[in-house]
C-alpha cells in the first residue's frame, strides 16, 4: 500500500473531529507553538469567539467550554486561522463547503407547473430558433442571445432570470458570460432549531491518546471496515508512530484490516526482524498473505478490486513471505491457494515460489499444485517436489501432476451422501463455516443432538458478527417465511429481494439454536468490566446491529444499514444532491423519488420528467445536466408529508441515477442527503442537514433511503440497484423500485435481524445490577436484579420490557449507556454508545460506535 508522506493539515483534524468530536490543540497554537493567556488577549478576540461560535452553531455544532476557552486565549490573527480551519472541516461534514445553486434559482417558490409544456417549449426553441430573428415562442424582436458555452439561442422574455443553467439543455452556463448571471439564492430569515445530530465539540487534552484510541477502536472491529473507516485508518496510521512504539495490538481480528495495517507498515523500509515478527503475528493463512500482496500492489484487501499491476517485491520481503507460507500446514495452504486460484496464479508471479525452493519446499509444493507443475524426476525441482510430497499425506501424485482433495469438496460430498455426522466432524474444524451453514444442517438432520452439541462447542471461538448473522438466519428459518433480502459482497451493496423459499427449521430446534447463540453472546458480555448502573433507550429497537459494513457509505450520522429513525420534521423534508464532474467528462446525475402505495404498487414519481407531483406534494428543483467546477450542480426535492398522506402514498424511495452511465467514483465529489424543514428562501441550509452521505463506488443507481410517510420514519438502506445502459430514470425502474421499497421495509421491520436494543440488553443485563430504560414517550422504568436472578433471566426480562421495579431511579451516574441521544450525565470512563452525541464530553468516557458495541463481544482469550 503506497504511503503518503504527509497528511493535509486539516485531514487529521477531520478524523478526530468526525469520529469523536475532539479538536486537536495543535491546531489552536500560534506559529511559535505557544498559547497566549486569556488575560492578555487583544480586545477584538472576544468578538471573534462570539462570531466563531455563531458560525459553528449555524453548521449544527456546539463549542464546549474547554474548546471555547482555548479559542478565547488565542491572538486575534491565530483565532481567525484556527477558526477557519475548524469551519472548513465542519462545512465538509455537512456539505456546506460547496455552492448549492439549483437550476431554478427561486426554488421552491417558483417551479414550472407543467413539465410536458416546458419540454415542448425547449424542443421548439431548439429546432426553430434562428439568430437575428424574432423569438419563436413570444415573437419579441432583438431579444434572442446565445448562451455560453453551449450557444443555444435563448429569449429572456420567455426564459426569465430564474434559471442558473441553459433553459434549453440545462447545462451549467458560463458565470462570466453576458446572459443569465449565476448568483446564489438569498438566505432566509427564520431561525432554525438545532438538528438532532448536533454534537458538542471539545478540546482534545492529549492528541496522541485521541489518535490511539480511535485507531484501537478500528483495529478491534470484528466486521470489515467501510470505505470511510479505511480512509480514516490510513490517516491514523500516519500519526501513530513506528510499529514498535507499543500501539500495535497483539491481534487484529478482521483479516482485511490486518492486510491494510501490514501493507502500511511494510511499504517502507523495515528490518528483517520486524518484518518476520509482523508476518508471524498477522499472517495466519495463505489468504492473509494474498490480501497483503494485493494491498502492496495497490489492490483491495477484500480481494474484490484487483491491483492495477503486480509490482516486484523487495527480495527480503519476498523471502519472508515464502518462509511464512512454508510454515503453514500444507492441507490448509493448498486449500487456500486453490480457493483463490486465479488471484494466486497472478500474485505468485511476484513471489517467485520456485526460486531457491529448497528453502521453502512445502510452499513450493503448494504452488506446484496450484499451477499444475509437472513432477519431472529429471529436474532438481521435480525431485525436490516428489521428495516433499512423500511426507505429505494430503498430496497425491496422479501421473506427473500433484493433486489434493479440498476441504470444501469433502464437506459437500458428505452432505450429498447424506452423511451429516461426517459433515459435522469436518465443519467442527472451521466453526465459522459451521455457523454459516447451521440452518441448512438443521433442516436436514433427523436427530439434532449432535448438531446442537457441535454448535455449543463452535460458538466459543467465532466472532460476534458471525454469531449475529447466525441468529438472524435461525430466526428467519424458524419464524413464518417472509421476504429474503440480499446484500452481495462485491463493490457496492446491490440490493435485491425474493420470497424466502429455504427449508424451515422446527420451532423447538430453532429456539434451542437461538438460545445457544444468544447465550454465548451474553456469556461474553458478563466477562467485561461490571457497570453497576446502566441506562438504555428503548428507541434502540429501531437500529439494526451492523452487518456488511464493508460497503457502507461515509455518512454524517452513522446509521447501521436497515435502521429507522423518526423524520426530522412532520411537515416537510428536503432531499439534496450535489456533484462536480471531472474536467473533460460531462456527468448528469439525477435526484429522483419513487412514490409507492401501501400494497407495494407504484403510484408515481417526481424527477426531471415530472417536476411536480400532486401540485406541491413533491417538488423538484430542476434538472442540471452538467456540473463543471467551481459551481458543480445541485438538485433538490421537497416532500410535503401531509399532502403525500392525502394521496395515500406510503413510501417515498430516494434514488440517485447517473443518467449518462458514469460511475459515482469518477466524480470529483458527489454526495446527497436529507434536511428537515429547511428555510423557504434557501435551497441548502447547513443547520437543517440531518444526514449527508457520499456517493462512491462503481454504482450508477443508488437507493440510499426510503421514507415511510404513514409512520413518519426514514429507513437507511444504503444500497444500489443494478442498472444497464444509459438514460436511467424512475419510469424505467418503476416496478423494481416499488417491489424493493416494500420488501426492504418489511424485511427490516420484521425483527429477524438482531437489533442494537438486544445487543445493549446483553451488555446491561450481564454487567449491571440496575438498568434504567428510557421509553420513547419520555418515561423511564427501573430494572433491578432480584436476589438469585441469573443473567439469562434478568436479560430476558429486560429485553422483553417485562415487569419493572417500584421505587426511585438510581442517582449514581451510569457506567454503561446505550442511547439514541447522548443527553445525560454519565460516570467518568463510562462505556457509552450514542447515535447522536448531543452534549456528551467524549474526552472523559469510552465512546463506542455500533460496530464497537458488537466487537466488545469477542471471544475471550
Q: Is the distance from CB of 260 to CB of 1 less than 8 angstroms?
A: yes
At 4-21, the pLDDT tens digits run 233 333 455 567 777 888
How many other CB atoms are found less than 10 A from the CB of residue 710?
Answer: 14
| Per-residue model confidence (pLDDT) at position 32 | 45
How many other CB atoms are found less than 10 A from the CB of residue 331?
Answer: 17
At 362-413, the pLDDT tens digits run 999 999 999 999 888 889 999 999 999 888 888 888 888 998 888 888 888 8
Question: Could you tell me the pLDDT band of residue 281, with boundaries at 50, 70 and 90?
Answer: very high
Q: Which residue has the cell 464532474?
A: 581
Question: Could you tell me the pLDDT band of residue 3, with boundaries at 50, 70 and 90?
Answer: very low
Exposure on the CB side of residue 800, measured as CA atoms within 13 A: 8
What residues form DSSP beta bridges with 163?
104
| Per-residue model confidence (pLDDT) at position 149 | 84
What residues form DSSP beta bridges with 155?
none
549-749 architecture in CATH?
Sandwich (2.60)
| Per-residue model confidence (pLDDT) at position 732 | 86
Domain regions of the chain by residue span: 254-405, 532-543+754-855, 549-749
d(CA 343, CA 336): 11
Residues, the chain, total?
A: 861
DSSP secondary structure code for residue 599 in this structure = T
Q: What share of the chain is helix, strand, coil (3-state, %, to 5)?
A: 40, 20, 45
DSSP secondary structure code for residue 550 in this structure = G
d(CA 426, CA 331): 13
Concatenate the DSSP letters of all residues of 161-202 into one string.
Answer: TTBSB-TTT-PBPPTTSSSS---PPPP--PPPPPPTT-EEEE
d(CA 769, CA 784): 6
Preceding omega of 497 cis (within 30 degrees of 0): no
- pLDDT higher at 702 or 38: 702
How does the average pLDDT of the chain come out, rounded? 87
At 790-820, the pLDDT tens digits run 999 999 999 999 999 887 888 899 999 999 9
Q: Is the distance from CB of 612 to CB of 661 less than 8 angstroms?
A: no
| Per-residue model confidence (pLDDT) at position 552 | 81
Mean pLDDT of 88-116: 89
- For residue 207, CA distances in Å to 81, 236, 239, 395 come to 19, 11, 10, 54
Q: Is the distance from CB of 851 to CB of 223 less than 8 angstroms?
A: yes
- pLDDT(308) > 90: no
Which has the minimum average pLDDT: 109-113, 453-457, 692-696? 109-113
At 510-523, the pLDDT tens digits run 999 999 999 999 99
| Per-residue model confidence (pLDDT) at position 244 | 65
| Per-residue model confidence (pLDDT) at position 498 | 79
Q: Is the distance from CB of 840 to CB of 832 less than 8 angstroms?
A: yes
Q: Considering only CA atoms, which of 173, 180, 132 is closest in space to residue 151?
A: 173
Amino acid at each position: 500500500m503506497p504511503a503518503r508522506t504527509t497528511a493535509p493539515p486539516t485531514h487529521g483534524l477531520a478524523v478526530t473531529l468526525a469520529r469523536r468530536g475532539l479538536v486537536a490543540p495543535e491546531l489552536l497554537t500560534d506559529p511559535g507553538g505557544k498559547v497566549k493567556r486569556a488575560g492578555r488577549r487583544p480586545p477584538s478576540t472576544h468578538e471573534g469567539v462570539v462570531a466563531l461560535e455563531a458560525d459553528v452553531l449555524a453548521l449544527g455544532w456546539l463549542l464546549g467550554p474547554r474548546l471555547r476557552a482555548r479559542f478565547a486565549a488565542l491572538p486575534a490573527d491565530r483565532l481567525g486561522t484556527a477558526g477557519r480551519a475548524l469551519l472548513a472541516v465542519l462545512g465538509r461534514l455537512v456539505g456546506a463547503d460547496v455552492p448549492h445553486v439549483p437550476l431554478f434559482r427561486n426554488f421552491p417558490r417558483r417551479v414550472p407547473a407543467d413539465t410536458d409544456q416546458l419540454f415542448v417549449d425547449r424542443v421548439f426553441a431548439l429546432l426553430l430558433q434562428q439568430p437575428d430573428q424574432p423569438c419563436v415562442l413570444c415573437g419579441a424582436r432583438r431579444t434572442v442571445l446565445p448562451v455560453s458555452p453551449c450557444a443555444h439561442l435563448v429569449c429572456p422574455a420567455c426564459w426569465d432570470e430564474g434559471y442558473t443553467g441553459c433553459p434549453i439543455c440545462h447545462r451549467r452556463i458560463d458565470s462570466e458570460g453576458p446572459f443569465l448571471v449565476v448568483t446564489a439564492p438569498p438566505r432566509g430569515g427564520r431561525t432554525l432549531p438545532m438538528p438532532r445530530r448536533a454534537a458538542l465539540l471539545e478540546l482534545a487534552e492529549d492528541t496522541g491518546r485521541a489518535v490511539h484510541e480511535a485507531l484501537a477502536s478500528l483495529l478491534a472491529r470484528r466486521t470489515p471496515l467501510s470505505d470511510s473507516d479505511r480512509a480514516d485508518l490510513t490517516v491514523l496510521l500516519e500519526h501513530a508512530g513506528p510499529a514498535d512504539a507499543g500501539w500495535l495490538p497483539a491481534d487484529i481480528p478482521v483479516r482485511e484490516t490486518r492486510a491494510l495495517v501490514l501493507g502500511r507498515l511494510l511499504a517502507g523500509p523495515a528490518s528483517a526482524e520486524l518484518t518476520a515478527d509482523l508476518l508471524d503475528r498477522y499472517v495466519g493463512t495463505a489468504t492473509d498473505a494474498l490480501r497483503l500482496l494485493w494491498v502492496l500492489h495497490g489492490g483491495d484487501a477484500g480481494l474484490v478490486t484487483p491491483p492495477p499491476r503486480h509490482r516486484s517485491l523487495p527480495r527480503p520481503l519476498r523471502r519472508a513471505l515464502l518462509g511464512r507460507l512454508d510454515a503453514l500446514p500444507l492441507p490448509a495452504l493448498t486449500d487456500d491457494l486453490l480457493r483463490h486460484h486465479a488471484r494466486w496464479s497472478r500474485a505468485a508471479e511476484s513471489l517467485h515460489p520456485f526460486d531457491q525452493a529448497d528453502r521453502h519446499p512445502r510452499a513450493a509444493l503448494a504452488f506446484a499444485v496450484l499451477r499444475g507443475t509437472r513432477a519431472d524426476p529429471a529436474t532438481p525441482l521435480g525431485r525436490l517436489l516428489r521428495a516433499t510430497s512423500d511426507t505429505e499425506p494430503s498430496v497425491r501424485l496422479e501421473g506427473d501432476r500433484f493433486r489434493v482433495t479440498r476441504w470444501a469438496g469433502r464437506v459437500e460430498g458428505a452432505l450429498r451422501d447424506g452423511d451429516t455426522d461426517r459433515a459435522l466432524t469436518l465443519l467442527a474444524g472451521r466453526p465459522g463455516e459451521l455457523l454459516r451453514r447451521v440452518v441448512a444442517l438443521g433442516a436436514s438432520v433427523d436427530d439434532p443432538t449432535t448438531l446442537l452439541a457441535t454448535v455449543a462447542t463452535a460458538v466459543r471461538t467465532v466472532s460476534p458478527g458471525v454469531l449475529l448473522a447466525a441468529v438472524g438466519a435461525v430466526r428467519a428459518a424458524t419464524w413464518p417465511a417472509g421476504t429474503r433480502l440480499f446484500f452481495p459482497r462485491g463493490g457496492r451493496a446491490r440490493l435485491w429481494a425474493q420470497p424466502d423459499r429455504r427449508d424451515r427449521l422446527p420451532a423447538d430446534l430453532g429456539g434451542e439454536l437461538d438460545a445457544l447463540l444468544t447465550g454465548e453472546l451474553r456469556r461474553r458480555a458478563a466477562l467485561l468490566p461490571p457497570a453497576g448502573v446502566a441506562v438504555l433507550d428503548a428507541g434502540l429497537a429501531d437500529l439494526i446491529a451492523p452487518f456488511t459494513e464493508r460497503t457502507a457509505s461515509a455518512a454524517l450520522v452513522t446509521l447501521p444499514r436497515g435502521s429507522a429513525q423518526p423524520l426530522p420534521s412532520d411537515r416537510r423534508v428536503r432531499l439534496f444532491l450535489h456533484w462536480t464532474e471531472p474536467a473533460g467528462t460531462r456527468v448528469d446525475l439525477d435526484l429522483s423519488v419513487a412514490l409507492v402505495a401501501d400494497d407495494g404498487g407504484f403510484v408515481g414519481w417526481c424527477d426531471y420528467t415530472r417536476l411536480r407531483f400532486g401540485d406541491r406534494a413533491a417538488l423538484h428543483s430542476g434538472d442540471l445536466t452538467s456540473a463543471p467546477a467551481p459551481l458543480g450542480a445541485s438538485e433538490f426535492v421537497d416532500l410535503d408529508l401531509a399532502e403525500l398522506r392525502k394521496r395515500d402514498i406510503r413510501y417515498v424511495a430516494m434514488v440517485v441515477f447517473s443518467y449518462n452511465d458514469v460511475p459515482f467514483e469518477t466524480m470529483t465529489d458527489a454526495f446527497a442527503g436529507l434536511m428537515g424543514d429547511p428555510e423557504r428562501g434557501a435551497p441548502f441550509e447547513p443547520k437543517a442537514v440531518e444526514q449527508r452521505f457520499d456517493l462512491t463506488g462503481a454504482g450508477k443507481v443508488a437507493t440510499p433511503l426510503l421514507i415511510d410517510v404513514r409512520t413518519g420514519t426514514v429507513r437507511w438502506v444504503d444500497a444500489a440497484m443494478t442498472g444497464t445502459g444509459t438514460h436511467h430514470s424512475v419510469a424505467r425502474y418503476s416496478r423494481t423500485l416499488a417491489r424493493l421499497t416494500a420488501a426492504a421495509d418489511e424485511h427490516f421491520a420484521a425483527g429477524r435481524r438482531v437489533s442494537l436494543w438486544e445487543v445493549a440488553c446483553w451488555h446491561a443485563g450481564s454487567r449491571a445490577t440496575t438498568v434504567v430504560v428510557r421509553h420513547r414517550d419520555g418515561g423511564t422504568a427501573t430494572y433491578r436484579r432480584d436476589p438469585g436472578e441469573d443473567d439469562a433471566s434478568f436479560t430476558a426480562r429486560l429485553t422483553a420490557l417485562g415487569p419493572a421495579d417500584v421505587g426511585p431511579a438510581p442517582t449514581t451516574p451510569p457506567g454503561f449507556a446505550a442511547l439514541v441521544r447522548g443527553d445525560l450525565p454519565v460516570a467518568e470512563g463510562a462505556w457509552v454508545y450514542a447515535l447522536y452525541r448531543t452534549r456528551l464530553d467524549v474526552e472523559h468516557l469510552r465512546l463506542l460506535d455500533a460496530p464497537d458495541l458488537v466487537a466488545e463481544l469477542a471471544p475471550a482469550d
